Chains A and B, each alone.
Chain A
Amino acid sequence: MWPSDLNSLHLLLPPMEIFGVSLPGLLSQLLLGLVNGSFYAILSLGLAVIFGLLNVINFAHGALFMTGALLTWMAMNYFGINYWLMLVLAPLLVGLFGVLIERLLLRWIYKLDHLYGLLLTLGLTLLIEGVFRSIYGVSGLGYDTPELLEGATNLGFMIMPNYRAWVVVASVVVCIGTWYVIEKTKLGAYLRAGTENPRLVEAFGINVPVMVTLTYAFGAALAAFAGVLAAPVYQVTPLMGQNLIIVVFAVVVIGGMGSIMGSILTGLGLGVIEGFTKVFYPEASSTVVFVIMVIVLLIRPAGLFGKEK
């Protein structure tokens, strides 16, 4: 009764159509939406961590994501370092860069209005993207899929490139890992306490400034990790961060600026919704996230999972 191979899985589905699109067609879009949603989830997770714990609107997130992808390409092109090594190395390098940014630039503006953080990080973005653009142009640099993940699996209703399935798995693992560390471990508790009441936490002997720096570095590392995942999928271009970051901001706002789990779930969910929009009304696929953001802000200003501050 049950199909013996993945190929015929779709035969289990009832033959029906929803608004003129067959069920297998919808399923394939759902899967693709999950892939995009994974990128949204990791990126919005990094943003939510930085905003939730540091109160900084990190506009440079897209540029850090792009730097992760660029480092991966440079490592392969100039040093022959492979993808799997870069999955660890790129986040480390960008994390270090994040430490530099936090120590040299961000620490001066914590006491100021949110807007200064936004402006500073926006300026950083323009700088980083501009440098990259002047050296490499915008057409993009090709990065090949790692050999282990090459090829595609025929699921019957669609051909799923193996690499994209890996992206979903890797993102979910990293997201759940991060959520666990922040919400369920002692280190996470220190971090959360440190940002709510730094004086009191310092009184207990915990080095709050170092924790703050490490938090920013971790957020940056998350962005770079997403960048490494993205290199084989999207062309490595200076614009790759720009395209995603605006949507990611909307995701974070919808999920609730301080909520970690909120941004993960919202990221995945919005990826799926965007996928469906691409089927039924593709022209709106780049705006549907913002329409939802407007609706959510009107009904629940703190976001779906956020807490009123």
Chain B
Amino acid sequence: MKKQLKVLALMLGVAGLATSAAHAQDKVKIGFITDMSSLYADVEGKNGAVAIQMAIDDFGGKVLGMPIELLTADHQNKADIAASKAREWIDTQGLTMLFGGTNSGTALASAKVAAEKKRVYINNGAASSALTNDQCTPYTVHYAYDTVALAKGTGSAIVDGGGKSWYFLTADYAFGHALEADTTAVVKAKGGNVVGAVRHPLNASDFSSFLLQAQNSKAQILGLANAGGDTINSIKAAKEFGIGKSMKLAGLLIFISDVHSLGLRNTEGLQFTTSWYWDLNDETRKFSARFFEKTKRMPTEIQAADYSATMNYLKAVEAAKSVDADKVMTTWRGMKMNDFFGSGQLRADGRYVHDMYLMEVKKPAESTKPWDYYKLIKKLPGDSVFTTKAESKCPLWK
């Protein structure tokens, strides 16, 4: 009798689980896993969640009659945490779609989980071009920028300006390696050469030693293949050791939060490529003012992309009349997108092709208002800066 009771209880329990999973389909759950507390927290972080929530609210809070809920988590730059959180949300919370955040290592890991479980996966924060190249999936949308665009934009501009010999200071993980490799390819294709590279651990606090090695290489250009806190510390130390006297710094990935932290004195003249800037036109300024009201900071390109991608995703869901990942992706690839972030289309490999901008940091005298940091050098058409079909190893893009 006791055994039968146990079996009955077990069956009820399992039935209960099944029903709760079924109930989860009544809500559209958007997941957001990014670095919330470490070196990349300012480039996306919790304000990225603010941007996504703004988009959800502006869309009306509901899609296809279902309320939209935002789940957030901190992956602490650890791929295993990102992957297991994604898996947990999909398996137990009925997650509909996932935003993978900064850090290419975690991005590649969580993209795999999303593909395995057939969920739409959008990434704005991570840079590695591998997301839409050899590691492309039918569900990955790489929205804002990637290492190829950064390399082609900044690398070309600097080599054209006379910077032929390069030395790289590279963050020793997926992102740094990708950025170094992509930029090396561009430099070599234009007749330049790479004298050497030094790989530093992610989130290193002291760059003096690596910078001295760079200086000893006698290269013309120091390519900073790192981001966020690492870039800030590299630039600060470079100033201290007078690296600028013998080498020119090339910031391969610069965010407005970096410039804000370092100040124009330390960053003036830096040339870099970005997907968006808050002061480009009236539309960008309108969004940025609203964002500033909530967060007291101007949005970075990633945070703007988080808003824009959410909006376009929800529009795609509405057009597809379904949250099923395959249907949404097919519909989304057929949509022409145009908003304050950019205009263009999703490619078969998951890459959002839109214009990029080559910027230069203003001198302190040229800045007329708070956060007035960049001047536009030129617009880079999307087709000229992202991976071309010939260069792509993605089996989905033939």
Which of A's residues lie within 8 Å of B, judged by CB? 22, 25, 28-29, 32-33, 35-36, 133, 137-142, 145, 152, 158-159, 161, 163-164, 233-235, 237, 239-240, 243-244, 275, 278-279, 282-283, 285-287
In the complex formed, the residue of B with least CB distance to A237 is: B229
Stretch at the interface among B81-89, B253-261, B320-328: B253-261
Identify A139's interface contact among B172, B213, B229, B242, CB under 8 A.
B229
- A142-B263, A283-B172 as given contacts; A159 in contact with B257, CB under 8 Å: no
Q: Is the CB of B39 within 8 A of A239?
A: yes
Interface size on B, residues (CB 8 A): 37
Chain A residues within an 8 Å CB radius of B216: 22, 25
Q: Is the CB of A139 within 8 A of B203?
A: no
Chain B residues within an 8 Å CB radius of A28: 212
Q: Is the CB of A282 within 8 A of B210?
A: yes
- A137-B257, A152-B241 as given contacts; A244 in contact with B42, CB under 8 Å: no
Identify A285's interface contact among B39, B204, B242, CB under 8 A.
B204
Chain A residues within an 8 Å CB radius of B39: 138, 239
CA distance A241 to B172 in the complex (A): 22
Identify A36's interface contact among B200, B203, B206, B258, CB under 8 A.
B206
Q: Is the CB of B206 within 8 A of A234?
A: yes
Identify A140's interface contact among B204, B210, B232, B297, CB under 8 A.
B232
In the complex formed, the residue of A with least CB distance to B37 is: A133
A/B interface sample: 30 pairs, CB < 8 A: A25-B212, A25-B216, A28-B212, A32-B212, A33-B209, A133-B37, A137-B41, A137-B257, A138-B42, A138-B229, A139-B42, A139-B257, A139-B260, A139-B261, A140-B232, A158-B212, A235-B229, A235-B233, A239-B39, A239-B203, A243-B203, A244-B205, A278-B213, A279-B209, A282-B172, A282-B199, A282-B213, A285-B201, A285-B204, A285-B209
Chain B 212-234 per-residue mask, 1 if CB under 8 angstroms from chain A, else 0: 11001000000000001100110
A149 to chain B, nearest CB (A): 11
In the complex formed, the residue of A with least CB distance to B245 is: A159
CA distance A258 to B38 in the complex (A): 32
Q: Which of A140, A239, A275, A279 has the most CB of B within 10 A?
A: A140
CA distance A286 to B201 in the complex (A): 7
Q: Is the CB of A240 within 8 A of B205?
A: yes
Q: Is the CB of B172 within 8 A of A278?
A: no
A160 to chain B, nearest CB (A): 9
Q: Is the CB of A234 within 8 A of B260?
A: no
CA distance A278 to B205 in the complex (A): 13
Chain B 248-280 per-residue mask, 1 if CB under 8 angstroms from chain A, else 0: 000000000110111100100000000000000
CB of B198 within 8 A of chain A?
yes
Identify B200's interface contact among A159, A243, A285, CB under 8 A.
A285
Chain B residues within an 8 Å CB radius of A138: 37-39, 41-42, 45, 229
CA distance A213 to B35 in the complex (A): 38
Q: Is the CB of A141 within 8 A of B261?
A: yes
CA distance A152 to B245 in the complex (A): 13
Chain B 188-214 per-residue mask, 1 if CB under 8 angstroms from chain A, else 0: 000000000011110111101110110
CA distance A242 to B45 in the complex (A): 19
- A137-B257, A139-B261, A141-B261 as given contacts; A234 in contact with B41, CB under 8 Å: no
A21 to chain B, nearest CB (A): 9
> In the complex, which residues 280-321 of chain B have their Cβ closer than 8 Å to any Cβ of chain A?
297
Q: Is the CB of A133 within 8 A of B41?
A: yes
Chain A residues within an 8 Å CB radius of B204: 243, 285-286
